Amino acid sequence: MGLSGIPYFDEHILKGGFPEGSLVLVAGEPGAGKTLFGATYLYNGAKKFGEKGMYVSFAETKEEFLEEMRAFGMDFGELEEGGLFRFIDLVTLTGEALEKEIDVIVGELSSFGPKRVVIDPISVFSQNLGPQKTRVFLHTLLGRFVKSTRATALLIAEKPKGEEKIGHGLEEFVADGVLILRYEHARESVKRVLEIPKMRRRVIKKAQHEYAITERGIEFIEVPQMEHGHGPSTGEKITTGIPQLNKMLDGGVYRGSNVLFVGMTGTGKTSFALHFVVSNALQGKKAVYISFEEPVNQVIRTARNYGLEIDDALSNDHLKVLSWVPEAETPVYTFFKIRNIIEEIKPEVLAIDGLTALRQHLDPEELEKMLRYLSIFTKGRGITVYYTLTENTSFEVTPFTGASTMMDVIIGLKYTVKEDNVERRITVIKARGSDHSRKIHKYEITERGIEIYG
């Protein structure tokens, strides 16, 4: 069948999966995900399509392979017991013995009859056998098998960073298709990109596709589709958790809105976000709070200090508090992680605290793309999202223009120090579709939470 089982790859990149009867070269630098891609192809072939798969490894032992893939939720031991998978361990094979083992590989192919084959790495052949014998193996022996059985073989190859040639060049010439997995550094993170310079019997319209390696394996970025009937246009409003702020916003925030709280450190942005998720969770809505700046126990302690009933919200399983450091993770990976959380928990309200941590470590253009995709994804599901951003504000516009254009509501926070007293101010800078307050109000952060006056 040739389908990888990775929906976006099959439907949008190759539009039908790998052509049957093909030799496909999967090349890339160490850490690009070549082995994971090959393993995913075999695993999905067995689990989703009932097709046998064989992994011929010169790089790692069977035990190492099985353990590594379990971390991504792929149990190849189960497939092996069911007769759908076979692992050929040739890690300790010496150069002199390789030629003899070719007959063993071909024999295993004939007896087991896999529809999917992965050889990792194929460069072992060219390094030890030379061009002519390698051509015989690839083109005549392996090629004849895949053509006659309509199987597909993925040939894993290392591509040294900065070099254009793959292996000895022969592998690329013999293959029916070539995938190149590469990565590039963007600030402190790594951006992964798939290139397809060659694929016979397929029309490749887009040369590059961004992907990430997540707990689910390899995932390709796809522009989310907006679903009709949700978002701010529904007219339904939900509480901010603070009565006076609800009044300032003409009754609360529209369901499906993106809400940004922007202000300097110490203005209580985290407290506003906690009021939002806790109050809605106590009303029976599923809520998620994601912190990029504080551990979970500190977030919970902060809510308790403000007198919020966070323990009740957590105990009835309506609120989940999560935390991780986004440093060294790409915007695409962060988007996938949040998307997967949303798909698993299905919240109605979500708080992301805060964008400052993302902006410090991620490329601005990539971050803006991530926020745009996340906005489409959450609006399509009617999820109301609070974001926080540490930034001085003039109460007129926020300097983070990339985010502000996507926000339905922007609330500015600031404070001044007068005679040893801290005076905090809040105003609604922007609120689409609402007859919101244009005034600047005083507020305090107390043991009872946020209190707004005026």
Give ∠ CA 401-403-407 in degrees, rounded to 5.
110
pLDDT in tens, 177-191: 999 998 876 655 677
Q: What is the CA radius of gyration of the chain?
A: 27
| DSSP annotation of 226 | P
Domains in the chain and their CATH numbers?
7-220 (3.40.50.300), 232-453 (3.40.50.300)
* pLDDT reported for residue 123: 83
Surface-to-core class of residue 211, CB atoms within 10 Å of its CB (0-12 exposed, 13-18 middle, 19+ buried)? buried
d(CA 285, CA 296): 20
Surface-to-core class of residue 153, CB atoms within 10 Å of its CB (0-12 exposed, 13-18 middle, 19+ buried)? buried
| Residue given tokens 């993106």 in the structure block | 258
* pLDDT reported for residue 402: 62
Give, rounded to a whole angstrom, the gap between the first and last alpha carbons of the chain.
67
* pLDDT reported for residue 95: 61
d(CA 106, CA 100): 11
pLDDT lower than 50: segments of the chain: 228-232
Tokens of 247: 């009044």
Q: In 163-267, where do the E strands start and end? A: 177-186, 189-199, 208-214, 217-220, 237-238, 253-254, 258-263
Identify the bridge partners of residue 21 per DSSP, sorted by sequence position: none
Residue of 382, 381, 391 lying closest to 358 (CA atoms): 391
The reported pTM is 0.75
The rounded Cα 425 to chain-centroid distance in angstroms is 37
d(CA 288, CA 391): 24
DSSP output for 240-295: -S-HHHHHHTTSSEETT-EEEEEE-TTS-HHHHHHHHHHHHHHTT--EEEEESSS-
* pLDDT reported for residue 394: 72
| Residue given tokens 């976006």 in the structure block | 8
Identify the bridge partners of residue 77 per DSSP, sorted by sequence position: none
Residue of 381, 329, 306 lying closest to 350 (CA atoms): 381
Phi-psi region of 45 (alpha: psi -120 to 50; beta: other; left: phi over 0): alpha
| Residue given tokens 């051509």 in the structure block | 135
* pLDDT reported for residue 454: 79
8 Å CB contact between 353 and 273 = yes
